[in-house]
Amino acid sequence: MDREPGTVPKGQRIVVAMSGGVDSAVAAALLCRAGYDVVGVLLRIWPSRRPAAPNDRFDSCCSPRAADDARGVAAALDIPFYVLNYEDEFEREVIQPFCDAYAAGRTPIPCLACNARLKFGSLVARARSWRADRVGTGHYARVARDPRTGRHLLRRGADRRKDQSYFLYGLTQDQLARALFPVGGQTKAETRRLAAAFGLPVAEKPESQEICFVPGDYRAVVRERAGAVLRPGPIRHADGRAMGAHAGLADFTVGQRKGLGVSAGRPLYVVELDAAANTVIVGEDGDLWAREAVLEGCNYMPWEAPPGPRRVLAKVRSAQPEAAATLTPMEGGRAALRFDAPQRAIAPGQAAVCYDMDDPDLVVGGGTIVAARR
């Protein structure tokens, strides 16, 4: 288990956020085995009295079925377990900003807000009121401490393919100080092996991605809440030609090819969402490539902010491999990220996360992409 030795006294109470999945289950089990006083919780983010919709993914993270699975794991570990009513807070801190972002032509990542404001935000405060100083999760990431500065650092999970550091770049020093990632230092295969060894009911459970349970699909959620803001508008080619019409910006994201309802000789992709003009701008593949991303709301781990421009390995989507770039901090928490080679489909609303060039597992920091520039 990857954590700083000696910093968490034995017997100390730790709240573990359980999703019903195998990763958080094993995280809880490892902490139990290590002698901590583990309290399991599941954040109920879905509306309690909503009737089931046909698209409901009842097996996804934090869904009603997940509560049963998490409860079963807690019973197997003989630890207290509580389902916490986070419906209102999730609506306010995650879903509403999510809808606002779509309405503004951006492609948001709800997991970022959930981690920062719920799991490592208000849950940490509640844990403290229960005399638990730490919150553990099943994330594939690692915390570390810089021996010279004392700052808390974030590193990738040992399993590169499962690494979730991209979704945790926003954690503050205080949040990192209180975070525990018991499975971060091992592979997914090892996690599954441990689940079986511990006899946990979820050992064989299929993958749950870091996708929230949202009734129906994202577009329906956005339409339901931000419908008034979504208006039909034009689709234009990057060269200015009128190409057709769209029913609302929220249906599109940069790089998208399907659902455009327009055709030309060659494949067309969404190149930009112009919220001010309520226009979807399309172009060919060549139009999707850009070298620079402008970032806002940046958060850094090794320092408050980098002392100057810095060479990094950065990615602009969670599933995209990182690429060499230069990160230049600017005022007001903004930054410019200039890649050596053009990157495809840089989408405002996504996160750009930077890793140290010499120590590629070390997260330098990241921010929200607000614009892409050639």
Catalytic residues: 114, 212
Quick one: which segment of 1-9, 124-132, 220-228, 316-324 binds other proteins (CB under 8 A)? 124-132
Say whether residue 50 binds other proteins (CB under 8 A).
no
Sign, Cα dihedral of 66, 177, 87, 77: positive
Say whether residue 125 binds other proteins (CB under 8 A).
yes
**Residue (88 or 304) nearer to other proteins, CB:** 88
Residues 77 and 38: beta-carbon distance below 8 Å: yes
Say whether residue 58 binds other proteins (CB under 8 A).
no
Distance CA 151, CA 338 (A): 27
**Residue (10 or 49) nearer to other proteins, CB:** 49
Crossing angle (nearest 10°) for helices 22-33 and 188-198: 60
Say whether residue 49 binds other proteins (CB under 8 A).
yes
Say whether residue 326 binds other proteins (CB under 8 A).
no
Say whether residue 67 binds other proteins (CB under 8 A).
yes
Distance CA 180, CA 11 (A): 15
Residues 22 and 200: beta-carbon distance below 8 Å: yes
Distance CA 244, CA 281 (A): 10
Helix (H) or strand (E) holding 179: strand 179-180
Say whether residue 161 binds other proteins (CB under 8 A).
no
Question: Quick one: how far is CA 193 from the chain centroid?
Answer: 26
Distance CA 64, CA 52 (A): 10
Interface mask toward other proteins for 8-37; x: CB under 8 A? -----x------------------------
Say whether residue 210 binds other proteins (CB under 8 A).
no
**Residue (13 or 145) nearer to other proteins, CB:** 13
Main-chain phi, psi angles of 83, to 5 degrees: -95, 120
Say whether residue 56 binds other proteins (CB under 8 A).
no
Quick one: which segment of 121-129, 133-141, 195-203, 300-308 binds other proteins (CB under 8 A)? 121-129
Total site size for other proteins, rule CB under 8 A = 25
Torsion, Cα 340 346 350 355, to 10 degrees, reads -10
**Residue (47 or 232) nearer to other proteins, CB:** 47
Nearest Cα to Cα of residue 89 among 115, 122, 58, 132: 122
Say whether residue 311 binds other proteins (CB under 8 A).
no
Strand 233-237 and strand 279-283: the pairing is parallel
Interface mask toward other proteins for 68-107; x: CB under 8 A? x--x--------x-xxxx--xx--x---------------
Interface residues toward other proteins, by CB under 8 A: 13, 39, 42, 44, 48-49, 64, 67-68, 71, 80, 82-85, 88-89, 92, 122, 125-126, 128-131
